[in-house]
Structure 1
């Protein structure tokens, strides 16, 4: 209900925010869940709300049904938009706290986590009024030094391509250890057999990127949502907290080619 999408390779139809998907059943299940890709809804198979939907429906609105109480619908869907961002920040902060960082920074990360959790517990109107962008910025100030500390563990040159437009680029076998790929556009990029160990991938757009055979060991701020949107195979090495998407190929890759310059 809450998100909008447009007819594209990911979605078969247009849907406005707050409009029911044509496949939504009366019991809130999806009518084509087992054949989403075949029916043109591949985008649904990669979406991850970080648990924000459950939080809004079951906690913020205490199980209230927007169909039975339509007056709550607009506030509920607007709350979800904010909640998803807060839950994404919880993911990043939780991961940051697993890294080896100096004690003062660890303390600040813990405080930010507690504050973010408090914000998720607010009443609907307070959630909608929250300046979530300002809170994201405060958290990002803490995540940046964590990224720098983690990436400093990578040997040699650590490429800085943060925010770059690398759509469709060829990085087969590239040495991207410790790379800064924050917010980088890697849509459709070929990262097969690339070495992405200790790379910062926060906000990187990996839709359709080929991660077959890539090594993502120790990469930081990578989410399940990003992996779901990418392509990979059984040779892709993932951090232990993430799962291999079911739609990924199981075929092995060939020998890694030479590493091109980045």
Structure 2
């Protein structure tokens, strides 16, 4: 029951944020409220006070220590550099203030398109989804086309309609992966995982192989040593979820941002290519 990548077409995108080629868009366009995740309130369109003139973050290496945990669990999936370098051809909002608002409105739409491409790319990489390739490729091609539109066209996109098309394929991919797991004596644990609200749930050591945990609220849940292989974790809220010693190898649609939001350790097993966050080992 392996999700070993096989020969297949590839998406020509980097889903890793390249801050050196971005105009600090997430630090300006997005609003946040003073909370446990952010040290102060900021309105959308207002530059964060930690953003320097060269668009770099002045406290990037110490965000958590300075009360900005929320920044460490945000992921634009590479949308920032696409908007900065492709959509606006390297022209920044500081150099041309007239495009600032438009750029800030385009950015979250581009983020959603890149996020969809991230999940589609993963679906295309799975051995079990090979029968879906003919359906996946046209949707990937169309999503890529949308990212190359001009700003005005991007602002007119019906993103929910396109997301519905993408989600249908991702559900089919999920069903194929999770179908490999045989129902055993602990099927009740996987059934419980299908609930939408598992905030603070006690799931230590739970057998959650092949569980459908799409969009499940797992905030502060105890998932220590849980078996989450082949579970679908798309959109699951893992903020402060304790996954120390948990096995997530083969889990699908998990992002680095979700991992960063959780509490793990050196014994947590993550799927490739996700990495152990620095704050886990401090």
The verdict on a shared fold, with TM-score over 0.5 as the criterion, is yes
Paired residues of 1:196 and 1:217 also in contact (CA < 8 A): yes
How many Å apart are 1:162 and its aligned residue? 4.1
Q: Choose the corresponding residue for 2:198, options 137, 148, 166.
A: 166
Distance in 2 (alpha carbons) for counterparts of 1:60 and 1:46: 25
Partners of 1:160 and 1:87 in 2: how far apart?
Answer: 31
Aligned counterpart in structure 2 of residue 106 of structure 1, from 130, 133, 138: 133
2:275 is matched with which residue?
243
RMSD of the TM alignment (CA)?
Answer: 1.4
Q: Aligned residue for 1:226? A: 258
Confirm or deny: 8 A CA contact 2:123 2:129 kept in the other structure: no
> Among residues 149, 171, 178, which one is paired with 2:210 in the alignment?
178
> What displacement does 1:217 show?
1.0
The structural deviation recorded for 1:240 is 1.3
Which residues of structure 1 form unaligned runs of 5+?
A: 251-262
Distance 1:84 1:160 in 2: 32
Mapped contact 2:178–2:210 kept (Cα < 8 A): yes
Are the counterparts in 2 of residues 162 and 183 from structure 1 also a CA contact under 8 Å?
no
Question: Does the C-alpha gap of structure 1 residues 104 and 239 become closer, same or farther in structure 2, counting only changes over 3 Å?
Answer: closer
State which of 114, 128, 134 in structure 1 corresponds to 2:155: 128
* C-alpha distance in structure 2 between counterparts of 1:112 and 1:163, whole Å: 30
Kept in 2, the 8 Å contact 1:163–1:183? The answer is no
Task: Measure how far apart 1:223 and its partner are.
Answer: 0.8
Partner of 1:203: 235
> What is the match of residue 29 of structure 1?
56
* CA displacement at 1:17 relative to structure 2: 1.1
Which residue matches 1:142? 169
Cα distance, 1:108–1:160 mapped onto 2, change above 3 Å? farther
CA pair 113-38 structure 1, distance change in 2 beyond 3 A: same
Instruction: State the partner residue of 2:47.
Output: 20
**TM-score, structure 2 as length reference:** 0.85
Q: Structure 2 stretches of 5 or more lacking a match?
A: 1-27
SS of 2:143's partner is helix
Distance 1:170 1:163 in 2: 13
Paired residues of 2:72 and 2:257 also in contact (CA < 8 A) = no
Residue 64 (structure 1) aligns with? 91
Whole-angstrom CA distance in 2 between matches of 1:198 and 1:102 = 13
Q: 198, 219, 224: which one pairs with 1:192?
A: 224
Aligned equivalents of 1:83, 1:162: Cα separation in 2:
30
Aligned to 1:259: none
Residue range with higher mean Cα deviation, 51-60 or 241-250: 241-250
Q: Where in structure 2 are the equivalents of 1:74-93 lying within 5 Å?
A: 74-93=101-120
- Give the CA deviation at 1:29: 0.9
Greater Cα shift, 37-46 or 84-93: 37-46
| Alpha-carbon contact 2:201-2:222 (below 8 Å) kept | yes
Larger proportion of helix: 2
Q: How many residue pairs align between the two structures?
A: 250
Q: Is the 8 A contact 1:36 1:44 kept in 2?
A: yes
CA contact (8 A) 2:79 2:111 kept: yes
Quick one: distance in 2 between partners of 1:160 and 1:61? 47
2:7 maps to none
Secondary structure of the residue aligned to 2:127 is coil
Deviation, structure 1 residue 102: 5.9
